[in-house]
Chains A and B, each alone.
Chain A
């Protein structure tokens, strides 16, 4: 028996998300008294793979194949399923990100395994297997029992700490090859922005709403984000208006994020906006309207005009940084 975890890689590298996943899987494995096994797909070198052992992976299985450069839902699913069977996995852990959303449901059918997605804590119990997850876009939580012998969990991003528990392991190169008949999606073009902090990865996010008044007023907000090493985001009307790019739109119908710190600047705090940010550890609100609902979700607030307050924050941050 084992807990199988699939940490994906980005151009051959892992990131914090991968280590969160492996840390989580090894804690679940500990609860069950079994080993955590990590499976990697794609071309990742040994040095990078061995990092997974730092976070508690007791076995690392690597499937390398030139045909597996980009995600193919069906082919990747069959590879992970095959590994899950070969290690007798009783729990399979993936991220609740783009990749996890593509693979976990297919795995559920393939392994006849019940699934709980967006889980944000260690299982409540393992004898009766119960997990805790967000429902109704963060308006409530649910204790969900998974009743099948094999269980699939997708972990909500930024919900679990990275924990070091180093193991010494040899990396196993797996002989499993993808079934060519399953590799049916063909990627014809990739467009990637470089240098920009990914919203889903950012520890701090600075976000603006309609209260920013126009597309021309974002200078200080962006500068503040740069000083904090933060990602930038916005409310839906802002991206609809074209003040900011669409990939910054957060909320029910945009990105769902859970940074440690979220600045909501000139954002009223509509329920659909909160749906995308309510799992943030700290929310800071800056708004001219003292009755704006965002203050109910926030731990820190300033009532006032963003155009005046942002330059003061930037000035203070510069001061702090220069020390």
Chain B
């Protein structure tokens, strides 16, 4: 069995974002780029599944659509333990572009389980996994919080409102994963970092794909009104304010 994990290269979650060129472009000065947190957990789960030989996972591959500047992030995924990587050499215009490029690669490379994170922390789209599944005409399961392999078949838990569902699905399929899929992201050890230097990254040249959407400009959130303080000794006054001033209950 072969697992593919799609990874997005995003600013570290503590980044204070700023925009330049008439608010059209992210100012990348000083930004620390990381594997999208969800994708890191997806990769961790894929590696856990591979660790247990009874699951029969032969390889874990990571895939990224982006320019060569993203290679440090790809190398990090290899250092954490992925066997090899795919990079489609283009700066994608939108999620559709990413999924379409990956789908092209999947015409020649076949995977049994494809993992994507529930959202990337930049555009918060929650779209690449589902799009890829539709391109590949295979099933998808979204909001996956647990993935196991039993008798060569995936056994999944997915979050639903107020609970969860257990389900099975035939291979190949796409799992869009969220909280619960792995506890803590796996960290690269020294040996992994050394090994990553020589692991293969297969670079594909992009297909021409029309962009469906375009970010015209960014806006910063409106500053919120300053905090109004209530004295701790007189805490009950807060309830009055919420009721009569904010009118929230």
Chain A residues within CB distance 8 Å of chain B = 10, 70-74, 77, 96-98, 101-106, 108-110, 112-118, 130, 133-148, 154, 184-194, 196, 198, 200-201, 203-204, 228, 246-247, 249, 252-254, 260-261, 271-272, 275, 278, 281-282, 284-285, 295-305, 308-309, 312-313, 315-317, 319-320
Contact = CB atoms under 8 A, between A and B. Distances in A.
A106 B239 contact: no
Contacts, number: 267
Contact of B246 (A188, A300, A303): A300
Interface in B216-249: 216-221, 224-225, 227-232, 235-236, 238-239, 241-243, 246, 248-249
Interface string B61-97: 0000000000000000000000000000000001110
A316 B241 CA distance: 12
Contact of A116 (B121, B213, B225, B249): B213
A136 B123 CA distance: 6
B104 interface: no
A142 B219 contact: yes
B187 interface: no
B94 A198 contact: no
B151 interface: no
A253 B179 contact: yes
Nearest to B222: A141
A77 B231 CA distance: 54
B32 interface: no
B229 A301 contact: yes
Contacts of A117: 124-127
26 contacts: A10-B161, A70-B165, A101-B127, A101-B176, A102-B140, A102-B141, A102-B176, A105-B134, A115-B95, A115-B125, A117-B124, A135-B123, A188-B168, A190-B160, A192-B160, A193-B163, A228-B249, A260-B248, A282-B242, A282-B246, A300-B227, A300-B230, A302-B235, A303-B232, A316-B238, A316-B239
B114 interface: no
A309 B133 contact: no
A228 B162 CA distance: 20
Given A145-B216, A284-B242, A299-B228, A108 B131 contact: yes
Contacts of B242: 261, 282, 284, 300
Given A146-B213, A189-B166, 17 more contacts: A73-B141, A74-B139, A98-B161, A101-B118, A105-B131, A135-B123, A136-B17, A136-B122, A141-B221, A143-B216, A200-B161, A246-B180, A261-B248, A285-B227, A302-B230, A305-B232, A316-B236
Nearest to B214: A145
A320 B239 contact: yes
B206 interface: no
A140 B212 contact: no
A137 B227 CA distance: 22
A64 to B, nearest CB: 20
Contacts of A298: 227
Contacts of A146: 212-213
Interface in B128-178: 128-131, 133-135, 138-143, 159-170, 176
Given A188-B167, A191-B164, A253-B37, A141 B219 contact: yes
B249 A261 contact: yes
B108 interface: no
B131 A299 contact: no
A198 B134 contact: no
Contacts of A296: 227
B198 interface: no
A309 B230 CA distance: 11
A189 B127 contact: no
A192 B158 CA distance: 12
Contacts of A147: 211-214
> Chain B: interface secondary structure?
mixed
Given A130-B216, A135-B123, A142-B219, A299 B246 contact: yes
Nearest to A191: B163
Contacts of A313: 235-236, 238-239
Contact of B163 (A185, A186, A192, A308): A192
Nearest to A78: B134
Contacts of B243: 320
A298 to B, nearest CB: 5
Interface in B171-224: 176, 179-180, 211-221, 224
B162 A198 contact: yes
A268 B14 CA distance: 14
B221 A278 contact: yes
B99 interface: yes
B246 to A, nearest CB: 5
A117 B120 CA distance: 12
A313 B207 CA distance: 61
